[in-house]
Structure 1
């Protein structure tokens, strides 16, 4: 098995999964459009409470984190659909390495999640006047956060037993993690116990990293990105263990 052959198979899987995603664009479009509506409607409240600059920043950060957590549905459903359709076993019967299968599934989902976040930030810059003095720092946080989201979504996809169960997990879990992380309401105005518990939420580190990127605080940003990448790594390990479990089968509900 040469690297060129492996790359060709992986590329074919990426194109196939991208085509599957585009054939059912409804969930993807909703995750792209709803955040823009949300930020326009909610920004005046943040501006009234925190001032124009700080309020706009909070509205953007809160929208990015909240709606990207809700976009876990894109990652989770991509795997769960294969499990419910019993197609993972067929792919395993082909001359494919498990890593090729997972990469082929992950790349389109990662691109969709990153595109959602970039769309929100780009809209905020062009329409709401958000100042982004350090775009590379912001991109580093978005990439790290997207990796964490991809890992969390994949883990949900291998743990959930039905689409309804998956939907409940990302709806409830997404809102809980974003709220606990200070995305919707700053931690400073929440009860003290929320601030104490906030670091257990990946959303907290995403919020922290995004604020640090906009402020140019590289030290805080590096810490936040490190935690997010660790979350991604742990989720990937647990996902791989789960996929290899149950008598060595990838699909066993």
Structure 2
């Protein structure tokens, strides 16, 4: 066991380095998924400002709201879901290049292949969330009344949840077109149900009931708790735990459905 662990780590690291080279060769997706949400934040910020005034009235600390308190986390969560499909692109790319069978019969074990395919999408999601909160905060005057550590913890748990969701999409989809469609539909559906487009309390009752089973709701609850309500790291414990539970459930579902021998149809 002690001898196999380093070899296992080296095999996973080799897959990660390969994925990193491919991502560095084309940074367009990450750049697009960072610039577009920043533009959207500029448009929706006045609408969120109106929601904040209705919800809170006068800010408890006397510092005026800017609208960024909901615009930045809301738009960041929405666009993070669009990147969940990045998990599947690595698998579909291997099928398109006719290298999947060689990867299957190579020295890397199935769990090492899946682990290697998860690391880079996880890093990309964390980079996107970090950029959107940092740049969006600077551009639109986001003021965090609570803990930055709480925001970071929720961001990590959300990214893990999205990687697990990406594996479910890979397991269910046969073609890359299906992957694109289902990931985009899921992003918009979770956005509407989870309170990223409008505060949950302003949504219809049936939506409020469904919101609690969506990862977007718990991500927004964790982010807005730190940004608006002044929550510390302790306030992020419940959202983080729920996101991790959702991630675990999605991981089990994806692993139970995923078959290495399934044929996937890429662009080519």
What's the TM-score, normalizing by structure 2?
0.86
Residue deviations 1:47-69 (CA, integer Å, cap 9, x gap): 24424527221111211111111
What number of residue pairs does the alignment pair up? 249
Tell me the CA shift for residue 76 of structure 1. Answer: 2.6
Distance 2:193 2:124 in 1: 25
Tell me the CA shift for residue 217 of structure 1. Answer: 5.1
Tell me the CA shift for residue 203 of structure 1. Answer: 0.9
Residues 1:77 and 2:92 aligned together: no
Q: Is the 8 A contact 2:150 2:222 kept in 1?
A: no
Aligned mate of 2:203, from 169, 190, 194 = 190
* Structure 2 unaligned residues grouped into runs of 5+: 54-63
Bigger proportion of residues as helix: 1
Tell me the CA shift for residue 224 of structure 1. Answer: 1.1
* Structure 1 unaligned residues grouped into runs of 5+: none
Q: Is the 8 A contact 1:62 1:207 kept in 2?
A: yes
Deviates more, 1:207-216 or 1:73-82: 73-82
Distance 1:45 1:197 in 2: 24
Aligned mate of 1:33, from 35, 41, 47 = 35
Distance 2:96 2:249 in 1: 25
Residue deviations 1:26-66 (CA, integer Å, cap 9, x gap): 32221121111111221122224424527221111211111
Tell me the CA shift for residue 84 of structure 1. Answer: 4.5
SS class of match (1:197): helix
Tell me the CA shift for residue 198 of structure 1. Answer: 0.8
Deviates more, 1:86-95 or 1:136-145: 86-95
What's the TM-score, normalizing by structure 1?
0.90
SS class of match (2:143): coil
Residue deviations 1:64-113 (CA, integer Å, cap 9, x gap): 11111111222232233334544332112111122221221111110001
What is the match of residue 56 of structure 2? none
Residues 1:125 and 2:149 aligned together: no
Tell me which stretches of 4 or more aligned residues in structure 1 moved more than 3 Å.
Answer: 83-86, 217-220, 249-253
